[in-house]
Structure 1
């Protein structure tokens, strides 16, 4: 059931999509973007952009952007260590991928927030590996800090901890040339060499423009390295409406488009055909409190509109849903994440991350990963829709049972039961009496028990011993290099 198609929901008319596109092109050509990385600046200049060296401003004509879009693939496959988990990114097909690389975690024993350590990364990946609905992992290699790990080697140790504990697709960092090269080197080891990695991408990254309208040096350095290797790049714009972008959502879409498409242009000039995502983390700034609100309903609305804009450009869309402003597993947590996950899925966002997170993605929770797997499973049932044919219309069985009968003993019921109904894994459907006899457990308790069961019993596909050896040896090389400073 994983990877079903959405796209039934649209919030913009085709005329409105075109108006947003037109204004995006005007921003790129007349306002421009600031590109601080000198190689990318030169690449854009050589590619036909107007430049202002004094301000690092780059002005992209519409024809240049359109040429880049022609070269960017509308579909591609991210290859997993286990091929059964390969992710086929194509029009309106929906996948979920938790963002486990958070600085804080809710402790499984105490329920209190603390810093995330390397063992947590391993446990988080193991839980994601066991969950049916997840296919990608925003893994430990993207974490700026892992408690107890020197900051200069978090990317290598975080990557190894991730790939040892899941055979699904793992994301890595683009923050700086050397870190990007390290992650690509490790991915090449995993893939069986650089040539194999080029043929079958096994790693991807997110490049975050700095809103408004800037491409920072470190992220752009990483972009260049991933593009050279033909590995997918997600341009994850995170505008806060009213602060780092216009307060109007239409204005956010215009600025977001300019930031994404300028990045796409760089990628295609470096290596035509580089897979890219039209990515959004955009939402509002909560003006009462002065910080981002990723659980806001406006984030859900922007996901829907971003999916439409991505389809207009024939690009896959990466969206943000499954987060909350809540600090624990409560009612607010449930309605914020479920609403936005459903909106993004119905809109056909191809890759949705943030399941498992709390308080605007500052914190990750093992229990929340299990709960969100349930929500995502229900959403896949929605995307599956209703099959209408002669057998499912059920005229013959209705006629056979007739007035006053029942369907419990009908072969038609047995044949279609598992196909038609979603069977919850942790949601409670017991009578009150049975629920009380079982200990009156709330959802958090049930999810915690499920996590403990997974950590005790689940065995991810083992990493090839020679591959593991090479990864560890490379990590030691990086540690030695970085210790010299």
Structure 2
């Protein structure tokens, strides 16, 4: 194994993990992958493994520990993810944190009450909203339109990513490569060449099927992503007692097995491909068998998995705003902010999730705006405290002295705008003003979303590029 970087000494809320614990998890991972293996539904992936000397039994691939060590030594932990607007380009490294939109909800919660199937216009509206919110730095398919033929969905989503945003994109389908080339004015050859310099034009996500299986579609998409240098989030979601063991530690171990098995495949295709270690095992409510993504167990497993990724020196991918609530209410706010603060405290690098409700099944404009507000809160919380002499203000304290006040001091006017966080939506009025307005937070979030959409200005996109993109859309 490569030398491990320093591990955060901060204990988990539920206890401390030692270097010996990480080594035990790794050793058991190596044993499971070598003796039990992983099932791959892709003939191409199995053929590649076989050609590199891996033992296979039909679709099951067995991993020797040397292959795990080689992949861990190869994977990159720094790269540049381009935005079409260079101002939005992100350079990922172990200390970078970027918040993004959620993924793949089938439903929209409208007016914070009724749920309906997501449509094409919802996809566009949510993209415009994310483009307008500075806290959201990465785009994603928050909803999947359900009002068009399946074959038309992916071209529609990629074309409209490009039309309505110039922030970094998500790569979702093989056909997206040509659309990305049009958007950035490059060729496939240039995309491959830039990947050798750790420059990427989009990022993708691969979800294995827990336990220990990968569909043919996902394995082939991983190989294609690696070929073109798309940084990949390897994101298992084993769930306690259903698709994973009914212990937190068992789920963390299974998560590690699935990440490392896919990591090996990614590095066989393109050694040095940047990969995000997925840190999102989940719970199950045994009374309803529903996934519990906003639960305390999910946060504990997330924290342990982050430390496992750090043990390997890998970048991490989690989520923010995770909630099992079906509407924007107290539960939604509590679970979402809990997720924001733990994810940022754990310094998870890639954090999609803004806009989700109902265990990732639904999305809403209100939730998108409120998650952006939560991201700003958590971001301020993560900003280091200034301990300079100017910030300590010892001379000023002596000057003001007992029973004085600091309201009219020049120091106050020089610092209050930057030192103090001023929320856009979370209110701090007097009771009288609050009572006179008579609107709750969800209603005010809806107003804010509508105002942002009314003021939305599309990013620059020349007419010829737009015409070239339009040719990919269904008539």
Query: TM-score scaled by structure 2?
Result: 0.93
- What is the Cα deviation at residue 294 of structure 1? 1.1
Asked whether the equivalents of residues 374 and 426 of structure 1 are also in contact (C-alpha less than 8 Å), the reply is yes
- Quote the offset at 1:163 in angstroms: 2.0
Q: Is 1:433 the equivalent of 2:438?
A: no
SS state of the match for residue 387, structure 1?
A: coil
Q: Deviation per CA, 1:302-353: give whole Å up to 9, x if none.
A: 2211211111112110002312111111111111111122111100110112
- Structure 2 residue corresponding to 1:186, chosen from 159, 179, 185: 179
User: Superposition RMSD on alpha carbons, in Å?
Assistant: 1.8
The whole-number CA distance in structure 2 between the counterparts of 1:189 and 1:215 is 31
Aligned partner of 2:3 in structure 1 is: none
- Summarize the alignment of residues 248-327 of structure 1 with structure 2, pairs less than 5 Å apart: 248-327=247-326
Change (3 A) 1:303 1:92: farther
Which one of the candidate residues 72, 83, 90 is aligned to 2:93? 90
Instruction: Provide the rounded CA distance (Å) in 2 between the counterparts of 1:92 and 1:247.
Output: 32
Q: 1:69-468 maps to which residues of 2 (within 5 A)?
A: 69-108=72-111, 111-139=113-141, 145-173=144-172, 180-193=173-186, 194-198=188-192, 199=194, 200-437=199-436, 439-468=437-466
CA–CA distance in structure 2, aligned partners of residues 389 and 266 of structure 1: 48
Output the CA distance in 2 between the equivalents of 1:355 and 1:286.
23
Whole-Å separation in 1 of the counterparts to 2:244 and 2:226: 27
Render the CA deviation track for 1:436-483: whole Å, top value 9, x for unaligned.
23x22110111011011011112131323222211111335xx7xxxx
Q: Does 1:48 align with 2:53?
A: yes
Contact map agreement 1:73 1:276 (CA 8 A) in 2 = yes
CA distance in 1, matches of 2:382, 2:18: 22
For 1:248 and 1:116, locate their aligned partners in 2 and report how far apart those are by CA, in whole Å: 35
Q: Deviations over 1:406-430 (max 9, x none)?
A: 1122222122222211110011100
Tell me the matched-pair count. 459
Change (3 A) 1:470 1:261: same
Cross-structure match for 1:3: none
Q: Which deviates the most, 234-243 or 273-282?
A: 273-282
Which deviates more, 328-337 or 164-173? Answer: 164-173
Q: Structure 1 runs of 4+ off > 4 angstroms? A: 6-10
1:289 CA displacement: 0.5
For residues 6-57 of structure 1, what are the alpha-carbon distances to aligned partners after superposition, in whole Å with 9 as ceiling and x for unaligned? 978552333222221221111111221111211111211222322112xx21
CA distance in 2, matches of 1:26, 1:465: 56
* Cα distance between partner residues in 2 of 1:139 and 1:253: 27
Residue 237 of structure 1 and its aligned partner are, at CA, apart by 0.3
Work out whether residues 100 and 364 of structure 1, in 8 Å CA contact, stay in contact via their aligned partners in 2.
no
Separation in 2, partners of 1:271, 1:317? 19
Q: Would the aligned equivalents of 2:76 and 2:273 in 1 still touch at CA under 8 Å?
A: yes
Contact 1:51 1:58 in 2 (8 A): yes
Partner of 1:483: none
Residue 134 of structure 1: SS of its match in structure 2?
Answer: coil
**Structure 2 residue corresponding to 1:27, chosen from 26, 32, 45:** 32
Instruction: Quote the offset at 1:60 in angstroms.
Output: 0.6
What SS does the aligned partner of 1:260 have? Answer: helix
Distance 2:412 2:92 in 1: 35
Q: Distance in 2 between matches of 1:454 and 1:394?
A: 39
Q: Secondary structure at the match of 1:368?
A: helix
**Match of 1:422, SS?**
coil
Which 5+ residue runs of structure 1 have no aligned equivalent? 1-5, 174-179, 480-485
TM-score by structure 1 length? 0.91
